[in-house]
Structure 1
Amino acid sequence: MPATIPVADVELLADLLVPVEPVGVVLFAHGSGSSRHSPRNVAVAHTLNDRALATVLVDLLTPEEERVDERTAELRFDIGLLAGRLAGIVDWLATDPTLGGLPVGLFGASTGAAGALVAAAARPERVRAVVSRGGRPDLAGEALARVRAPSLLLVGGRDEQVIGLNESAMTSLDGVAELRVVPGATHLFEEPGTLEQVADEAGTWFTTHLRR
C-alpha cells in the first residue's frame, strides 16, 4: 500500500505491507544509492510479512534530494539526516490507527544500518529490535553506547572489510547484540541462499524481540 509520510518539513514516499493481525512493524532503512524498491529489502520484507510482521519500505530522501545525491553522493552518508527521518517515521507510526500499538523494529542495510542504530538510541521506548544487513554500524559513532534495543549484525563471510567494522562496532554496543557471519556471502548477499538466510535470521530476531 503506497503512503506519504510527513517528517519535519518534507514528505517521504513509502510502501506499507500489513498482514492480518500483525505482531509488530519493521521499518526499513536502505543503503547508500538505493531506494524503497531495493529488490533485496523487498524480498526480506515479504519473508517478514509471512511471519505476521508489518513492513514499511521508505525513501529517506525526497525525489529532489535523490537527484542531488546522484550527482554529489553527499546525502547518503549524512547519518544524522537519515537517523532523524527514521526517528520521525517511528513517531508517525505511533499515531497510525493500525500500526500505532505495535512494537517497532528497524532493518538497516549499509549506511542505513547506522541511521537505524542512531534512531534506535533516540527512541529507546519505541524501537524494540534492530537488524543490520551488510551494515556500517561504525558510522553510528557514540550513539552505539546508547542503543538499548537488541541488535543483530549480519555480515557476509567474504565481506572482510565490513566484518572488521562490525567487530569494532560490537565493542561499543552496550546492550544485547550479536554478530553473525553468513558463510560465502559478499556485501550484497547475491550468492544463492544467502539472502534467504538473512531474511530467516531477521525474521527470527524480530519475532523473538518484538513483543507487545
Structure 2
Amino acid sequence: MSVISQMVSVPADRVTLPGEFVVPASSRATAVLAYGLHASPQDPHVRSVADELHRAGFATLVTDLFSETEAQRSDRGEGQQVDLALLGRRLVAAVDWVTIQPDARGLPVLLCGSGAEAAVALLAAADLPDGVSAVVSCDGQPELAGAALERVRVPVLFVVDAEEPQSLSAHQEAARRLAGPHTLREVPGLTRRFTEPGVLQRAVHTIEEWCEELVPRTG
C-alpha cells in the first residue's frame, strides 16, 4: 500500500498545532482525530487507532488540540477545566487546513474523538455544516457540547460500551438533541484507550461499516 506520511504544523487561532498527516492510496475519506485532553497524539494507542483506520481506507490527520508550548503545561485536563469552544475553533482550523492539502483535496472529512475530544468534534461540526461529512464519537462525552448539539446536522455515530449504562444514557440524551441523524452502536469492553484485546479492531470495523454508505470505497 503506497502511503504519504508527514509531520505537519497546522495554524489555528494564533497558535500552531503539531500533527501527523497520512494518506494511503485510494483513501475514501480523511478522518481528523483530535487529541490533547485525555491522551497525547504520541501515545501508542493513538498510533494503533490511526493504523487501523489506514487499513480501512481512511487518510488521517492526527492533531493535538494544544500547541507544543501549551502541551508542556500540567494544567490541561478534561472538559470542564479547559475552553472547549476554543478547542472547537482550533479543530475547525484543522479541517480548513486538511481540505486544501493536494493529497486529500476532495475527500470527505470525518471528525473523530473520544472523551471530551468527542464534544470538541461536535462543536466543530456545528460550525461546519458543509465542511464535514460525519462525526464519530468513541466512548465520548457528547453532553459537554451543550447547546451546540442542536446545530449539528451531519450524521453522527456514537460507539459505546453497552455495559456502562450511565454512559449509554448520556449518549441517548445527547442524541435526542441533535439536528441531524445519528446511530448508536455498542462495542463490549470499549474504553478510550482500547485496552482489551480485539476491541480496537471491532470499533474500527463498526466505523467502517457505518461509513460505507456515506463514503464508500472507490479504489
TM over 0.5: yes
Give me the whole-angstrom Cα distance separating, in 2, the residues matched to 1:55 and 1:185.
21
1:2 aligns with 2:7: yes
Q: Which runs of 5 or more residues in structure 1 are unaligned? A: none
Tell me which residue corresponds to 2:75. Answer: 71
- TM-score of the aligned structures, taking structure 2 as reference length: 0.87
SS at match of 2:89: helix
1:59 aligns with 2:68: no
Tell me which residue corresponds to 1:25. Answer: 30
Give me the whole-angstrom Cα distance separating, in 2, the residues matched to 1:72 and 1:115.
15
**Most deviating of 54-63 and 197-206:** 197-206
Task: Give 2:124's match in structure 1, choosing from 112, 119, 124.
Answer: 119
SS at match of 1:127: coil
**AA paired with 2:54?**
N
Residue 196 of structure 1, CA deviation = 1.4
8 Å CA contact retained: 1:32, 1:112:
yes
**AA paired with 1:36?**
P
Give me the whole-angstrom Cα distance separating, in 2, the residues matched to 1:16 and 1:26.
10
Give me the whole-angstrom Cα distance separating, in 2, the residues matched to 1:201 and 1:180.
8
8 Å CA contact retained: 2:9, 2:19:
yes
Give me the whole-angstrom Cα distance separating, in 2, the residues matched to 1:187 and 1:15.
20
Tell me which residue corresponds to 1:139. Answer: 144
1:184-203 residue CA offsets vs partner (Å, 9 max, x unmatched): 44554322222211111112
SS at match of 1:11: strand
Task: Give 1:35's match in structure 2, choosing from 37, 40, 52.
Answer: 40
**AA paired with 2:158?**
L
Paired residues, what number?
Answer: 211
Give me the whole-angstrom Cα distance separating, in 2, the residues matched to 1:196 and 1:49.
12
Give me the whole-angstrom Cα distance separating, in 1, the residues matched to 2:10 and 2:38.
20
Aligned structure 1 segments of 4 or more residues deviating by more than 6 angstroms: none
Give me the whole-angstrom Cα distance separating, in 2, the residues matched to 1:31 and 1:207.
29
Identity %: 36
8 Å CA contact retained: 2:38, 2:78:
no
8 Å CA contact retained: 2:61, 2:98:
no
SS at match of 1:27: strand
Q: Which runs of 5 or more residues in structure 2 are unaligned? A: 1-5
- TM-score of the aligned structures, taking structure 1 as reference length: 0.90
